[in-house]
Amino acid sequence: MNALVCFSSSRLAAGLAVLALGWPLVAAADCVDTRKPTAAELEFFRRGQAAVLAALPPLPVGAVLQYKDSEPSIGQLCAGAIGAFSMGASRAYELNFRKSIVSVRINVRQLPKADPVLVGAYGQASPNQSVGLRVNNVVWEVSGSDSPLRQALADAIDRTRLEALVGNQLPSVAESQALAAQAVPATVAAAPARAAPAPNVPPPQTATTQAATQPAAAPNPAAPAAPGTQPAAAPINEVIDTVNRLRGLFGR
Protein backbone atom coordinates (compact mmCIF):
# COMPACT_ATOMS: atom_id res chain seq x y z
CA MET A 1 0.00 0.00 0.00
CA ASN A 2 1.15 3.52 -0.59
CA ALA A 3 1.03 6.60 1.58
CA LEU A 4 -0.52 9.91 0.70
CA VAL A 5 1.67 12.70 1.96
CA CYS A 6 0.67 16.32 1.44
CA PHE A 7 3.22 19.06 0.83
CA SER A 8 2.54 22.68 1.66
CA SER A 9 3.14 25.22 -1.10
CA SER A 10 6.10 26.64 0.79
CA ARG A 11 7.86 23.28 0.54
CA LEU A 12 7.18 22.65 -3.12
CA ALA A 13 10.50 23.97 -4.42
CA ALA A 14 12.48 21.96 -1.89
CA GLY A 15 10.46 18.85 -2.65
CA LEU A 16 11.24 19.13 -6.35
CA ALA A 17 14.94 19.26 -5.56
CA VAL A 18 14.75 16.03 -3.60
CA LEU A 19 12.68 14.32 -6.27
CA ALA A 20 15.43 15.15 -8.74
CA LEU A 21 17.77 12.97 -6.69
CA GLY A 22 15.76 9.89 -7.59
CA TRP A 23 14.54 9.31 -4.03
CA PRO A 24 10.84 10.23 -3.89
CA LEU A 25 9.84 11.24 -0.38
CA VAL A 26 6.59 9.32 -0.81
CA ALA A 27 5.04 7.11 -3.42
CA ALA A 28 1.77 8.73 -4.47
CA ALA A 29 -1.05 6.50 -5.64
CA ASP A 30 -4.78 6.61 -5.99
CA CYS A 31 -6.44 5.10 -2.96
CA VAL A 32 -9.92 3.71 -2.94
CA ASP A 33 -10.17 4.31 0.80
CA THR A 34 -8.07 6.55 3.02
CA ARG A 35 -7.65 6.82 6.75
CA LYS A 36 -5.96 8.91 9.38
CA PRO A 37 -2.65 7.64 10.74
CA THR A 38 -2.77 5.75 14.00
CA ALA A 39 -1.11 7.04 17.16
CA ALA A 40 1.68 4.46 16.73
CA GLU A 41 2.27 5.57 13.13
CA LEU A 42 2.41 9.23 14.16
CA GLU A 43 4.95 8.47 16.89
CA PHE A 44 7.13 6.37 14.58
CA PHE A 45 6.96 9.03 11.88
CA ARG A 46 7.90 11.85 14.26
CA ARG A 47 10.84 9.88 15.63
CA GLY A 48 12.02 9.02 12.15
CA GLN A 49 11.78 12.60 10.95
CA ALA A 50 13.69 13.88 13.98
CA ALA A 51 16.40 11.28 13.37
CA VAL A 52 16.93 12.20 9.73
CA LEU A 53 16.94 15.92 10.50
CA ALA A 54 19.60 15.35 13.16
CA ALA A 55 21.67 13.50 10.55
CA LEU A 56 21.77 16.48 8.19
CA PRO A 57 25.06 18.37 8.73
CA PRO A 58 24.70 21.89 10.15
CA LEU A 59 25.64 24.82 7.95
CA PRO A 60 29.42 24.93 7.45
CA VAL A 61 31.18 28.14 8.43
CA GLY A 62 30.22 30.86 5.94
CA ALA A 63 27.56 28.76 4.14
CA VAL A 64 23.87 29.64 3.76
CA LEU A 65 20.68 27.67 3.14
CA GLN A 66 19.34 27.79 -0.42
CA TYR A 67 15.83 27.32 0.97
CA LYS A 68 14.04 25.84 3.95
CA ASP A 69 14.69 22.17 4.77
CA SER A 70 12.50 19.79 2.80
CA GLU A 71 10.57 17.26 4.88
CA PRO A 72 7.19 15.62 4.31
CA SER A 73 4.21 15.59 6.61
CA ILE A 74 2.15 12.50 7.20
CA GLY A 75 -1.33 13.14 5.92
CA GLN A 76 -4.11 10.77 4.95
CA LEU A 77 -2.88 7.23 4.41
CA CYS A 78 -4.26 4.56 2.16
CA ALA A 79 -6.40 2.12 4.07
CA GLY A 80 -4.52 -1.08 4.65
CA ALA A 81 -1.32 -2.15 6.38
CA ILE A 82 0.04 -0.09 9.25
CA GLY A 83 3.24 1.79 8.36
CA ALA A 84 2.98 2.14 4.58
CA PHE A 85 5.08 5.32 4.46
CA SER A 86 8.71 6.37 4.46
CA MET A 87 10.55 9.21 6.17
CA GLY A 88 13.16 11.61 4.95
CA ALA A 89 14.51 15.14 4.73
CA SER A 90 16.99 17.15 2.69
CA ARG A 91 18.99 20.33 3.16
CA ALA A 92 20.44 22.56 0.43
CA TYR A 93 23.68 24.43 1.09
CA GLU A 94 25.51 27.21 -0.75
CA LEU A 95 29.02 28.57 -0.26
CA ASN A 96 31.15 30.63 -2.66
CA PHE A 97 28.51 30.15 -5.39
CA ARG A 98 28.82 26.33 -5.11
CA LYS A 99 25.71 24.34 -4.15
CA SER A 100 25.20 20.90 -2.60
CA ILE A 101 22.23 18.95 -1.24
CA VAL A 102 22.27 16.35 1.56
CA SER A 103 19.37 13.93 1.86
CA VAL A 104 18.67 11.20 4.44
CA ARG A 105 15.88 8.64 4.07
CA ILE A 106 14.47 5.81 6.16
CA ASN A 107 12.67 2.75 4.74
CA VAL A 108 12.96 3.35 1.01
CA ARG A 109 11.63 0.75 -1.41
CA GLN A 110 14.86 0.43 -3.39
CA LEU A 111 18.42 1.06 -2.25
CA PRO A 112 20.64 3.22 -4.44
CA LYS A 113 24.02 2.04 -5.56
CA ALA A 114 26.44 2.81 -2.77
CA ASP A 115 29.37 5.16 -3.34
CA PRO A 116 32.30 5.34 -0.90
CA VAL A 117 32.18 9.15 -0.88
CA LEU A 118 28.72 10.42 -1.84
CA VAL A 119 26.14 7.68 -1.14
CA GLY A 120 25.58 5.33 1.78
CA ALA A 121 22.92 2.60 2.12
CA TYR A 122 22.45 0.40 5.20
CA GLY A 123 20.03 -2.48 5.68
CA GLN A 124 17.78 -4.09 3.10
CA ALA A 125 15.35 -2.66 0.54
CA SER A 126 11.88 -2.25 2.01
CA PRO A 127 9.09 -2.68 -0.60
CA ASN A 128 6.49 -2.24 2.15
CA GLN A 129 8.28 0.81 3.54
CA SER A 130 7.65 1.09 7.30
CA VAL A 131 5.12 -1.72 7.64
CA GLY A 132 5.72 -3.24 11.06
CA LEU A 133 6.99 0.16 12.32
CA ARG A 134 10.64 -0.81 12.32
CA VAL A 135 13.74 0.60 10.61
CA ASN A 136 14.59 -1.62 7.65
CA ASN A 137 17.09 0.67 5.93
CA VAL A 138 18.72 4.10 6.07
CA VAL A 139 20.08 5.88 2.99
CA TRP A 140 22.02 9.15 2.66
CA GLU A 141 23.31 11.02 -0.37
CA VAL A 142 25.33 14.16 -1.05
CA SER A 143 24.85 15.73 -4.48
CA GLY A 144 26.27 18.78 -6.24
CA SER A 145 29.29 19.69 -8.30
CA ASP A 146 32.70 18.61 -7.09
CA SER A 147 33.80 21.26 -4.59
CA PRO A 148 35.28 21.69 -1.09
CA LEU A 149 31.70 22.28 0.15
CA ARG A 150 30.47 18.92 -1.11
CA GLN A 151 33.51 17.18 0.37
CA ALA A 152 33.01 18.82 3.78
CA LEU A 153 29.34 17.80 3.85
CA ALA A 154 30.14 14.20 2.91
CA ASP A 155 32.79 14.04 5.64
CA ALA A 156 30.27 15.38 8.19
CA ILE A 157 27.83 12.47 7.71
CA ASP A 158 27.83 10.28 10.84
CA ARG A 159 27.82 6.95 9.02
CA THR A 160 28.20 4.86 12.16
CA ARG A 161 25.16 6.37 13.83
CA LEU A 162 22.97 6.02 10.73
CA GLU A 163 23.93 2.39 10.28
CA ALA A 164 23.16 1.74 13.94
CA LEU A 165 19.54 2.86 13.40
CA VAL A 166 18.80 -0.21 11.26
CA GLY A 167 16.96 -2.89 13.22
CA ASN A 168 16.83 -0.81 16.41
CA GLN A 169 14.26 1.43 18.04
CA LEU A 170 14.39 5.02 16.85
CA PRO A 171 15.61 7.57 19.43
CA SER A 172 13.05 9.91 20.93
CA VAL A 173 12.40 13.26 19.30
CA ALA A 174 14.09 15.01 22.25
CA GLU A 175 17.20 12.83 21.93
CA SER A 176 17.54 13.58 18.21
CA GLN A 177 16.99 17.30 18.75
CA ALA A 178 19.67 17.36 21.46
CA LEU A 179 22.07 15.56 19.13
CA ALA A 180 21.39 18.08 16.36
CA ALA A 181 22.02 20.98 18.77
CA GLN A 182 25.44 19.55 19.67
CA ALA A 183 26.61 19.19 16.06
CA VAL A 184 29.67 21.26 15.23
CA PRO A 185 29.64 23.08 11.86
CA ALA A 186 32.36 21.96 9.50
CA THR A 187 34.98 24.33 8.14
CA VAL A 188 35.21 24.10 4.37
CA ALA A 189 38.76 23.94 3.10
CA ALA A 190 39.77 26.73 0.74
CA ALA A 191 40.23 25.77 -2.89
CA PRO A 192 43.94 25.37 -3.75
CA ALA A 193 45.42 28.47 -5.39
CA ARG A 194 46.84 28.15 -8.85
CA ALA A 195 50.63 28.18 -8.98
CA ALA A 196 52.12 31.30 -10.57
CA PRO A 197 54.09 30.66 -13.78
CA ALA A 198 57.85 30.51 -13.32
CA PRO A 199 59.71 33.64 -14.49
CA ASN A 200 61.67 33.38 -17.74
CA VAL A 201 65.16 33.33 -16.20
CA PRO A 202 68.09 31.86 -18.17
CA PRO A 203 69.77 28.86 -16.54
CA PRO A 204 72.92 29.55 -14.46
CA GLN A 205 76.25 29.39 -16.31
CA THR A 206 78.61 26.60 -15.36
CA ALA A 207 82.23 26.14 -16.26
CA THR A 208 81.25 23.66 -18.95
CA THR A 209 78.60 25.88 -20.53
CA GLN A 210 80.89 28.92 -20.35
CA ALA A 211 83.66 27.07 -22.21
CA ALA A 212 81.16 25.87 -24.81
CA THR A 213 79.70 29.29 -25.45
CA GLN A 214 82.93 31.38 -25.53
CA PRO A 215 84.61 31.64 -29.01
CA ALA A 216 87.98 30.01 -29.49
CA ALA A 217 90.95 32.41 -29.40
CA ALA A 218 92.48 33.20 -32.81
CA PRO A 219 96.17 32.21 -33.24
CA ASN A 220 98.73 35.04 -32.89
CA PRO A 221 101.14 34.88 -35.87
CA ALA A 222 103.62 37.25 -34.19
CA ALA A 223 104.00 35.12 -31.10
CA PRO A 224 107.48 33.45 -30.83
CA ALA A 225 107.72 29.70 -30.96
CA ALA A 226 107.84 27.94 -27.68
CA PRO A 227 111.31 26.62 -26.61
CA GLY A 228 112.16 23.17 -27.92
CA THR A 229 109.88 23.42 -30.91
CA GLN A 230 110.97 23.48 -34.60
CA PRO A 231 110.88 26.88 -36.30
CA ALA A 232 108.47 27.35 -39.10
CA ALA A 233 109.76 26.51 -42.63
CA ALA A 234 111.48 29.40 -44.50
CA PRO A 235 109.61 31.06 -47.32
CA ILE A 236 110.10 29.33 -50.69
CA ASN A 237 111.97 32.33 -52.21
CA GLU A 238 114.74 32.18 -49.58
CA VAL A 239 115.28 28.48 -50.29
CA ILE A 240 115.63 29.12 -54.03
CA ASP A 241 118.24 31.91 -53.49
CA THR A 242 120.32 29.69 -51.25
CA VAL A 243 120.37 26.90 -53.85
CA ASN A 244 121.47 29.32 -56.61
CA ARG A 245 124.41 30.64 -54.51
CA LEU A 246 125.63 27.12 -53.85
CA ARG A 247 125.53 26.31 -57.55
CA GLY A 248 127.69 29.42 -58.26
CA LEU A 249 130.32 28.34 -55.77
CA PHE A 250 130.66 24.91 -57.27
CA GLY A 251 130.46 26.06 -60.87
CA ARG A 252 127.21 24.35 -61.58
pLDDT value at 204 more than 50: yes
Domain span at residue 165 reads 40-71+86-182
Q: Comparing 195 with 153, which gets the higher pLDDT?
A: 153
Question: Do the domain assignments include residue 24?
Answer: no
Question: Do the domain assignments include residue 243?
Answer: no
pLDDT value at 5 more than 80: no
Question: Do the domain assignments include residue 234?
Answer: no
Distance CA 147, CA 158 (A): 20
Question: Do the domain assignments include residue 114?
Answer: yes
Question: Do the domain assignments include residue 11?
Answer: no
Question: Do the domain assignments include residue 144?
Answer: yes
pLDDT value at 10 more than 70: no
Instruction: Report how many domains make up the chain.
Output: 1
Distance CA 13, CA 15 (A): 5
Question: Do the domain assignments include residue 163?
Answer: yes
Picking from 127, 125, 159, 123, the residue whose alpha carbon sits closest to that of residue 142 is 159
